[in-house]
């Protein structure tokens, strides 16, 4: 079923998802039936805004205790919609809080609009990054810099689709501090890869379904 869902993504969108080369990958899919919505156009616009409103992602991802905070290039908190070049600091779950109080950091590499006959699709790509509030360029994330998460929102005649595609995911052991290395080894050994997939599934479902009955 996963392959069928992935193959159903329009070609012009699919080519924006990085090729899997190393480590692990994941694909998370969620969708809404157009026929179940009172006004599909309003619903789609609302979901698009939710997707870009990073600071509220934790509100929609109800299955886990995650934090998502939007930052500018200097690491200062932003209260606005996401844009290319911004950063995010992320804490994925209560599990992460137990073994580490630290956040991980990602960079918003791109937010691309793809136009089609049913409405503009949005493709947002995130990649592990350094902490923009600190000097240096060491990746401050439990995945290496080669990893990425690509969030894809689009619609067709039957459904509104939201999918999240993890690529080239492998634990980040190339860190300068021993405490960081131990943390990342623990994350890898104790299943943070699986925890992050649950988080993305929860987020995808929440972004699509929050207040659905009002739309």
Q: d(Cα 138, Cα 177) in Å, to the nearest integer?
A: 11
pLDDT at 16: 96
**Per-residue model confidence as pLDDT tens digits over 149-163:** 999 999 999 999 999
Give the residue extent of every domain in the chain: 2-214
Determine if the pTM surpasses 0.85. yes
CA torsion sign for 195, 126, 87, 179 is: positive
pLDDT at 177: 78
The superfamily CATH assigns to domain 2-214 is START domain (3.30.530.20)
Rg (CA), the chain: 17
Q: Across the strands, what pairs with 186? A: none
pLDDT at 132: 96
pLDDT at 69: 96
User: Residue 31: enclosing H or E segment and its boundaries?
Assistant: strand 24-33
DSSP three-state, residue 132: coil
Instruction: Give every residue of the chain whose pLDDT is below 50, as ranges.
Output: 1, 214
pLDDT at 63: 67
Report CA 178 to chain centroid distance, whole Å.
28
């Amino acid at each position: 079923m996963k392959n069928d869902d992935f193959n159903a993504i329009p070609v012009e969108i699919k080519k924006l998802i990085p090729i899997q080369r190393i480590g692990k990958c994941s694909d998370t899919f969620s969708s809404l039936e157009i026929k179940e919505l009172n006004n599909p156009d309003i619903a789609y616009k609302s979901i698009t805004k939710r997707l870009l409103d990073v600071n509220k992602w934790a509100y929609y991802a109800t299955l886990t205790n995650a934090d998502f905070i939007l930052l500018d290039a200097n690491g200062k908190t932003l209260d606005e919609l996401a844009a290319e070049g911004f950063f995010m600091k992320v804490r994925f779950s209560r599990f992460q809080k137990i073994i580490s109080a630290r956040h991980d950091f990602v960079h918003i590499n791109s937010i691309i609009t793809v136009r089609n006959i049913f409405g503009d699709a949005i493709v947002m790509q995130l990649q592990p990054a350094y902490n923009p509030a600190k000097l240096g360029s060491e990746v401050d994330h439990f995945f290496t810099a080669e990893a990425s998460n690509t969030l894809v929102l689009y619609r067709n005649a039957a459904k509104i689709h939201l999918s999240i595609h993890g690529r080239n995911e492998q634990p980040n052991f190339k860190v300068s501090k021993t405490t960081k290395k131990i943390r990342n080894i623990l994350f890898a050994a104790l299943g943070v890869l699986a925890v992050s997939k649950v988080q993305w599934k929860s987020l995808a479902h929440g972004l699509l379904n929050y207040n659905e009955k009002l739309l």
